[in-house]
């Protein structure tokens, strides 16, 4: 099967029910996407499928074939961090950072469909992601800062 990940096409030879998470991590070596539960409960495995945030641990490979998949590794462009990544750095929106790729991907998806979310909308969009280190206060700040930054960029 052919898979389009971070703008590159890959040929993978696995059972079609293999999860997208397993393929990304095992077959493609893209270990930035994390396993946290395998049940769709924690968001550690969040990737973008055609721009939408999805839990890759419960996404069978065949349903992602033909779609554009973006992982945390594909977010920075030409060495420049994505504004959401920058905001997470600036607000130290992590401790162990195991949840960080998932939160960043969910935030990117939110801001692409709603560039100016309010506090409630941010919380709603990120409630599927768990940060056990409890850095939510900072994640909220980072998401707001990223929205502002994107708005400025868009206005330039």
Partner 1 sequence: MTTISELHEDAALVVTGPPQWAGELELREAPGPEATLLMMDRQGGAIAFSGKVEYGQGIRSGFSLAIADELDLPLDSVRLILGDTDLVPWDRGTVGSVSTMTVGIQLRRAAATARGALVTLAAEHWAVDEASLATSEGHVFISGEPSRRVSYAELLQGKDLRLPIPEDTTTKRAEDFVFMGKDAPRTDALDRVTGQAKYSQDIVVDGMLHGKVLRAPSYGARPQQIDTAGAERVPGFVMLVRDGDFVGVVCEREDAAEQAVDAIRVRWQEEQNLPSDSDFPAALKEKAKEMIVLREEGSPAEGFAQADHVLEGSYFVPHVANVPMETSTAVASWDGGNLTVWSGDRAPFVVRDELAQALDMSQDQIRVIAPEVGGSFGTKGTVGVAQEAAVLAKAAGRPVRVAHSRSEEFMWGTVRPAALFEIRSGFNADGQIVAWEYTAYHTGDRPQRGQRGADTPYNTPNVRISVADSASPLRTGSYRSLGCAANHFAREIHIDEIAATLNMDPVELRLMNLTHPRLSRVLRQTADRFDWESRRNDSSVGIGVAIGYDAGSFVAECVEVAVRRRNLRVQRVVAGIDCGLVVNPEGVRNQMEGSIVMGMGTALREIVEFDSGRLLNPALSRYRVPRINDTPEIEIVMSGDSTTPSTGAGEPGIVPIAAAIGNAVYAATKTRIRDLPIVPRLG
| Residues at the site binding ligand FES, with contacts judged by CB under 6 A | 35-38, 40-45, 55, 57, 94-99, 131-133, 135
Encoded one letter per residue, x for contact with partner 1 by CB under 8 A and - for no contact, window 110-149 reads ------------xxx-xx-xxxxxxxxxxxx---------
**Interface with partner 1 by CB under 8 A: which range of 24-32, 48-56, 108-116, 148-156?**
24-32
Among 49, 64, 99, 108, binds partner 1 (CB under 8 A): 99
Residue 29's binding partner, choosing from ligand FES, partner 1, none, with beta-carbon cut-off 5 to 8 A by kind? partner 1
Q: Which residues of 15-27 are buried (b: 16+ CB within 10 A; e: fewer)?
A: eeebbbbbbbbeb
Q: Is 39 in the site for partner 1 (CB under 8 A)?
A: yes
Q: How far is the CB of 151 from partner 1 (least distance, A)?
A: 20
Q: HSE (CB half, 13 Å, CA atoms) of 70?
A: 16
Q: Is 46 in the site for partner 1 (CB under 8 A)?
A: no
The answer to whether the Cα torsion of 95, 131, 110, 63 is positive or negative is: positive
Q: Tell how strand 2-5 and strand 68-70 pair up.
A: parallel
Cα separation, 20 vs 65, in Å, equals 10
Q: How far is the CB of 87 from partner 1 (least distance, A)?
A: 9
Sequential DSSP letters for 25-40: IIIS--TTS--S-SSS
Q: Which one, of 69, 66, 71, lies nearest residue 32 by Cα?
A: 71
Residues 24 and 56: beta-carbon distance below 8 Å? yes
Please give the residue ranges that form the binding site for partner 1 (CB under 8 A).
15, 18-19, 22, 25-26, 29-39, 41-42, 44, 71-73, 75-76, 81, 85, 88-90, 92, 94-101, 104, 122-124, 126-127, 129-140
């Amino acid at each position: 099967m052919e898979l389009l990940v971070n703008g590159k096409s890959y040929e993978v030879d696995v059972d079609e029910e293999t999860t997208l998470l397993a393929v990304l991590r095992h077959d493609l070596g893209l270990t930035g996407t994390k396993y946290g539960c395998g049940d769709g409960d924690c968001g550690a495995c969040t990737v973008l499928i055609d721009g939408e945030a999805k839990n890759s641990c419960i996404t069978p490979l065949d349903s992602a074939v033909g779609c554009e998949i973006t992982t945390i590794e594909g977010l920075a462009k030409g060495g420049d961090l994505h504004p959401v990544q920058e905001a997470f750095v600036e607000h130290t929106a992590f401790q162990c950072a195991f949840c960080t790729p998932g939160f960043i991907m969910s935030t990117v998806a939110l801001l692409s469909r709603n560039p100016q979310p309010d506090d409630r909308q941010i919380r709603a969009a990120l409630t599927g992601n768990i940060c056990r280190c409890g850095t939510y206060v900072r994640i909220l700040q980072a998401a707001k800062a990223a929205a502002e930054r994107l708005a400025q960029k868009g206005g330039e």
